[in-house]
A = this chain, B = another copy of it.
Amino acid sequence: MRELADITPVKWDNGKIAWINQTRLPWEEEWKVSESIEELASAIESLEIRGAPAIGVAAAYGIALSAANQSEAGSMKDNVLACYGRLRKTRPTAVNLFWALDRMLSKFRSLEASDAPAVEIREKLLKEAMAIHSEDIGANKQMGRYGNGLIKDGDTILTHCNAGALATGGWGTSYGIIRTAWQSGKDIRVIATHTAPLYQGARLTMWELKRDGIPAKLITDNMAAYAMKDENVSMVLLGADRILLNGTVANKIGTYGLAILAKHHKIPFYVAAPTSTIDPKGRKIPIEQRKPDEVRNILGKLQITVRDADVLNPAFDITPSRLVSAIITEKGIATKPYMESLAAMK
């Protein structure tokens, strides 16, 4: 088995939460440690912690932290509810955030209803957050095994944004599949997109690929069609921030375009995500519109257009299910009709 790097982007650290500041990658590996819910919320908003599953894990630790900050049951409840309310407001699109917060809150409510003492509530909430974290890694690895069945020796896999260890509890969703395939000895290569405007593909996925030693080429976002035609791309494989039961996928801006390009080139288009990404009730997905400066000023460092240029800046787009060849989860590979295959997994 080939060796892979060990990357855990969010951790419980002795009564505090620790995270690698992803806005500083690939330039430096800066770890932050905090016991402030406001700092954690800001870290999620500013993308120091990003990736739908990683946000879910961080939010779960946040609830555990909000309970641990107080020894009295009364103000513990206030703290937990305030933390729940604050973290819910950080990012609108990824559903894992709401899923993890709701799971933690319902754990809190059942402990409270059973008149558990404060010390037990704190312990069990932390245990629940750690379970969310380790279940996420377990789900990723299971997804990796299922997804690996779709990958052949010699394949070229085009991926977008970062759905790697950094985006999750520590293994990766779509990139976790790539890791599993590589670890199992398949000689694959990856083509990673820049992923403007925040360059998670260039900054984060290329950083992970280099640490893992997997052969990879970086392209600008507008080279994807060229790569599909001239670089023998075998499949597009990427993550998701929210999936509706009918198979509609919300993911990083650019995903929808890649799905159309894949269809045109008759290349399979695979989405990998844990079932916590599936929104069982949703019908419409809110798209986060981020600040104009992200499009004008690259990573806050390099102005590339005229001052005050009008811009569009949707962080995500919506890919209709008809363009999605399969959805890989920890419970298996869902295919059309998704309304049946995804419902069976949820």
Number of interface residues of A (CB under 8 A): 55
> How far is it, in angstroms, between the C-alpha of A225 and the C-alpha of B299 when the chains are bound?
23
> How far is it, in angstroms, between the C-alpha of A99 and the C-alpha of B110 when the chains are bound?
79
What is the chain B residue whose CB lies nearest that of A190?
B310
Question: Are B225 and A196 in contact, with the CB atoms below 8 A?
Answer: no
> How far is it, in angstroms, between the C-alpha of A311 and the C-alpha of B217 when the chains are bound?
5
Question: Are B196 and A310 in contact, with the CB atoms below 8 A?
Answer: no
- Neighbouring B residues of A217 by C-beta, 8 Å: 309-312
> How far is it, in angstroms, between the C-alpha of A295 and the C-alpha of B227 when the chains are bound?
14
Question: Are A224 and B304 in contact, with the CB atoms below 8 A?
Answer: no
| Stretch with Cβ within 8 A of B (4 or more), from A133-141, A251-259, A332-340 | A251-259
A297 CB → nearest B CB, Å: 10
Known: A196-B196, A306-B26, A306-B206. A223 touches B314 (CB 8 A): yes
Specify which of B191, B202, B230 is in contact with A304 (CB 8 Å cutoff): B202
Question: Are B256 and A229 in contact, with the CB atoms below 8 A?
Answer: yes
Question: Are B260 and A225 in contact, with the CB atoms below 8 A?
Answer: yes
- Neighbouring B residues of A223 by C-beta, 8 Å: 253-254, 312, 314, 317
Question: Are B225 and A256 in contact, with the CB atoms below 8 A?
Answer: yes
Interface: A15 (CB within 8 A): no
Q: Mark A10-26, 1 if CB is under 8 A from B, else 0.
A: 00000000000000001
Q: Mark A163-194, 1 if CB is under 8 A from B, else 0.
A: 00000000000000000000000000001011
Q: Mark A190-219, 1 if CB is under 8 A from B, else 0.
A: 010111110100110011001000011111
What is the chain B residue whose CB lies nearest that of A260?
B264
- Neighbouring B residues of A298 by C-beta, 8 Å: 298, 302, 304
Task: Report how many copies the assembly holds.
Answer: 2
Known: A218-B311, A220-B197, A231-B312. A257 touches B225 (CB 8 A): yes
Interface: A296 (CB within 8 A): yes
> How far is it, in angstroms, between the C-alpha of A158 and the C-alpha of B160 when the chains are bound?
23
Question: Are B196 and A221 in contact, with the CB atoms below 8 A?
Answer: yes
What is the chain B residue whose CB lies nearest that of A229?
B256
> How far is it, in angstroms, between the C-alpha of A202 and the C-alpha of B230 when the chains are bound?
27
Known: A256-B229, A257-B261. A304 touches B222 (CB 8 A): no
Within 8 A of B (CB), among A232-267: 253-254, 256-257, 260-261, 263-264
Specify which of B197, B306, B317 is in contact with A210 (CB 8 Å cutoff): B306
What is the chain B residue whose CB lies nearest that of A189?
B310
What is the chain B residue whose CB lies nearest that of A302?
B302
Specify which of B194, B224, B303 is in contact with A257 (CB 8 Å cutoff): B224
Interface: A301 (CB within 8 A): yes
What is the chain B residue whose CB lies nearest that of A316?
B226
14 examples of A-B residue contacts, CB within 8 angstroms: A195-B222, A196-B196, A196-B222, A202-B309, A206-B305, A210-B306, A216-B310, A220-B221, A222-B254, A223-B317, A226-B257, A226-B312, A257-B257, A298-B298
User: Which 5 pairs of residues, A with B, have the shortest CB-CB distance?
Assistant: A222-B254, A225-B257, A196-B220, A221-B222, A202-B305
Known: A216-B309, A219-B312, A260-B264. 13 other contacts (CB 8 A): A191-B312, A202-B304, A207-B305, A218-B295, A218-B311, A220-B221, A220-B295, A221-B221, A222-B253, A223-B253, A226-B317, A257-B257, A260-B260
